[in-house]
Amino acid sequence: LCRITFSCLPASWYCSVSLLSLGCAPRQRLLLLLLLLITSTLLFLGTYQRQLWGPQRRPGSRVNNSGSRVFVYYWPPHNGNPHTLLDIRQMRDHDHKPVVKKIKPGISTLAKTPTRASDYLHPLLSFAAAHVPKSKHKETPLYILCTAGMRLLPESQQAAILEDLVTDVPLEFDFLFSSSHAEVISGKQEGVYAWIGINFVLGRFDHADEEDATVEVTTGSQNQRPISRRRTVGIMDMGGASLQIAYEVPSAITFNSPEEAGKSVLAEFNLGCDVEHTQHVYRVYVTTFLGFGGNMARQRYEDQLVNKTFAKNRFLTAQTGLSEEKPYLDPCLPVGLSESVVRGNHTLHLRGQGDWARCQEAVQPFLGLHNGTMSPGGVYQAPINFSNSEFYGFSEFYYCMEDVLRIGGQYDSDKYSRAAKVTTNAPLSRHIERP
C-alpha cells in the first residue's frame, strides 16, 4: 500500500504523487494553476494573482488523448474550513471560452530527434505565457510530467528528451523550472490524477446531501469509526498507449504477506492538509496496462497478423496478403476497407470483413485473462461492490461510443454490440460520408 503525500503547492512526486492539496488553507492571494496535458507529457504551472478574473467559475477537467493540450486553472484562498477543499476553477478568456490549446502529435515522437523537444513545446508555452501576467512568470512553477507514450521509450531516449527540456526551456521562458520538475511518471500516478480530477469536477468530495448515494469508509486509522460520505466514481481511461483503471476501495484489505503484489496497486492519500482530519482520506485501487491503449492494441493485433500470416504462407506456400489482389481478410476492419501493414521488409495487405463475432474471438487472447480473473494479465483486482458503484470511461472509450457508434451516454453492453455489428458491416461509403 503506497501512501501519497500532497503538499499545498505543486511539487514532484515522492512515493506516487505530490500535487497540490485540495484542502489547504493558505493565506496567499488568488492562485493560478496552468496545466498543459500532452499524450507523452503533463506540464503544471502555478502563479499568484488576485484581480485578474471576475465571477467565480466551475473547475475544469482534463482528458488525456493523442496530442498535446494546455488548460489554465486558478483558485482563491481556502475558506479555512478543514472539511472543505479548494475551489479550483478553469480560466476563461475575454469571450468566456476556456483557455485551452491543443497540438499534435505527442512528444514521444521526438525519440530520434530529442533536441527538438523544447521547440515542440514552444507553441504551448507561448500560449501559456500570454495568459499569465508577465510579472508573475518567475513565481509560476512549471512541471513536466511525462506519461504513457514516453514510458514506452528506452530510458536513454527518455533522458535525452528531458535533458533538452531542462536545458532549453529556461532560455526562452522565465517560469520557475528546474531539473527536478521534469520526469516520467508511472501509470499509477497518471491514474490517480484522473481519478481525483473527475471526482472533483462531479463534486464527489463535497459533503453528502440526503439524496446522494453514500458509502461507508474505513480510513485505516486506529480506533477510527467508519465514516459515511459521498460515493466516488471509478474511472477507465484508454489513451493511445495505455489503459488506466482507478476506483475507491472503501474497506481495508488484509494481505497474507507483506510481499503481496496487490499492495502495489493500492494508493492511500489525504486530500486535506490536516493529518488529524480523515474526512478526505481516500484508498484507491489504481493500475495501468501498458500496451492496452487504442493505438498500441491495434499495433499488437497487426503484429500478430503479420507474423502468423507470413509464417503460414511459408508453410503452405500460399500468397495471402502479399498483394492487393489477394489480401488477408481482416474481421476487425469495416467491410471493404483496405489497409497495408508494414513491418520491416514485409507488407501485409488487409481488406475488412466486418465480422464482429470473429473479431471478438481474434482479440480475446490479447486480454490475457486467466485463473478466472477479469483483469488483463491476471493483475490483482480489489473487490468491487457493483450494486453501489459507478464508472466513467474516457478518451478512446468516449470516442468509440460517441464519434464512431454515435451512442454516447450510459453504456449498455447489448446496445453497444448491436451498434458495433451495424457499423462494421456498413458499406465503406457510409464511413466516408459520415461527418
Could you report the per-residue pLDDT of 301-357, keeping only the tens digit for each? 999 999 999 888 888 877 899 999 999 999 999 888 899 999 988 899 999 998 988
Does 418 have pLDDT greater than 50? yes
> For residue 97, what is the enclosing H or E element?
none
Q: What pLDDT band is residue 431 in, cutting at 50, 70 and 90?
A: low
Q: What is the pLDDT of residue 120?
A: 92
- Cα–Cα distances (Å) from 355 to 165, 293, 401, 424, in that order, read 46, 22, 19, 7
Report for 149-153, 204-208, 429-433: range of highest mean pLDDT: 149-153
Determine the pLDDT at residue 430. 62
Sorting pLDDT into bands at 50, 70 and 90, what band is 183?
Answer: confident
d(CA 189, CA 272): 18
What is the reported pLDDT for 111? 93
For β-strands 100-103 and 68-75, DSSP reports them as antiparallel
Residue 50 banded pLDDT, cuts 50, 70, 90: very low
pLDDT beyond 60 at 143? yes
424 pLDDT band, cuts 50/70/90, is confident
Q: What does pTM read for this prediction?
A: 0.74
pLDDT at 13: 26
Full DSSP string of 53-86: --S--PPP-----SSEEEEEEEE----S-TTS--
For residue 274, with 0-12 CB atoms within 10 Å meaning exposed, 13-18 middle and 19 or more buried, which class applies?
A: middle
- Between 165 and 433, the more confident residue is 165
Pick 80 or 133 by higher pLDDT.
133
Model pLDDT, residue 326: 92
Report the chain's mean pLDDT, rounded to a whole number.
77
Q: What is the pLDDT of residues 184-197, one digit of tens each?
A: 888 888 888 889 98
190 is catalytic: yes
Helices (H), 294-375: 294-316, 356-363
How does residue 288 score in pLDDT terms, banded at 50, 70 and 90? confident
Mean pLDDT of 168-181: 91
Task: Please give the share of the chain, as a percent, with pLDDT higher than 90.
Answer: 23
**Residue 321 known to bind ligand:** no
240 assigned ligand-binding residue: yes
Could you give the residue range(s) of every CATH 3.30.420.40 domain in the chain?
Answer: 10-194
pLDDT at 58: 25
Choose the weakest-confidence range: 214-228, 242-256, 318-332.
Answer: 214-228
Q: Fill in the amino acid letter for 237.
A: D
The pLDDT score that the predictor gives to residue 370 is 64
244 is in an annotated binding site: yes
Dist CA 93 CA 33 (whole Å): 15
Residues forming beta bridges with residue 287, ordered by sequence position: 245
Q: Which residue has the higher pLDDT, 359 or 132?
A: 359
- Sequence length of the chain is 435
Candidate list 183, 190, 302, 396, residue with the active-site label:
190
- The model's pLDDT over 95-142, given as tens digits with 9 standing for 90+, comes to 988 888 888 888 889 999 999 999 998 998 898 888 888 888 887 777
345's CB contacts (< 8 A; 6+ apart) are: none
User: Which of the four pLDDT bands, split at 50, 70 and 90, describes residue 201?
Assistant: confident
In contact, 15 and 263? CB cutoff 8 Å: no
pLDDT (0 to 100) of residue 122: 92
How far is Cα 12 from Cα 142, in angstroms, rounded to an integer? 11
Give the integer Cα–Cα distance in Å for 153 and 41.
Answer: 13
Out of 14-18, 150-154, 168-172, least confident range: 14-18
Whether the pLDDT of residue 37 is over 50: the answer is no
* Residue bearing the bigger pLDDT, 61 or 341: 341
Compute the distance between CA of residue 378 and CA of residue 243 in angstroms, rounded to an integer: 15
Domain 10-194 has CATH 3.40.309.10: no
pLDDT score of 260: 59
Q: Tell me whether residue 395 is annotated as binding.
A: no
Res 270 pLDDT > 80: yes
Q: In this model, does residue 293 exceed pLDDT 80?
A: yes
Confidence check: pLDDT of 6 > 60: no
Task: Please give the full DSSP string across 91-151, using - where no structure is assigned.
Answer: -B-TTS-B-EEEESS-GGGGTT-GGGHHHHHHHHHHHHHHHS-GGGGGG-BEEEEE-HHHH
From CA 80, how far away is CA 189, in angstroms rounded?
Answer: 28
| pLDDT at position 1 | 36
Task: Cell numbers for 14, please give them.
Answer: 515522492
Main-chain phi, psi angles of 109, to 5 degrees: -70, -10
Q: Is 189 annotated as a binding residue?
A: no
> Do the Cβ atoms of 342 and 432 come closer than 8 Å?
no
